[in-house]
Amino acid sequence: MQPELAALLETAGITPRGEPKPMSGGDIAAVYWLETTQGAVVAKHDRAERLHGEAEGLAALREATLDGQGSQGGLVIPQVLGIAGEWLLLEALESAPRRQAGETVLGEGLRHLHAHTFTMHGWSHDNACGATPQANGGCEDGRVFQRERRLLPLANACVERGLLNSRDYDRVAQVAETLEKWLPQAPASLLHGDLWSGNVLFTPRGPALIDPSVYRHYPEVDLAMLTLFGTPSAAFFDAYWNGPTPADWPRREALFQLYPLLNHLLLFGGAYHGGVTRTLRRLENF
Active-site annotation, residues? 194
Burial class (CB in 10 A: 0-12, 13-18, 19+), 241: middle
Specify whether the backbone of 283 is left (phi greater than 0), alpha (psi in -120 to 50) or beta.
Answer: alpha
Please check whether residue 253 is in contact with residue 237, taking contact to mean a CB–CB distance below 8 angstroms.
no
Angstrom distances, CA of residue 133 to CA of 53, 57, 88, 130, 245: 11, 15, 19, 8, 33
Angstrom distances, CA of residue 147 to CA of 44, 91, 112, 139: 33, 37, 27, 11
Strands 200-203 and 132-134: unpaired
Q: What are the backbone dihedrals phi and psi of residue 28, each rounded to the nearest 5 degrees, phi first?
A: -110, -60
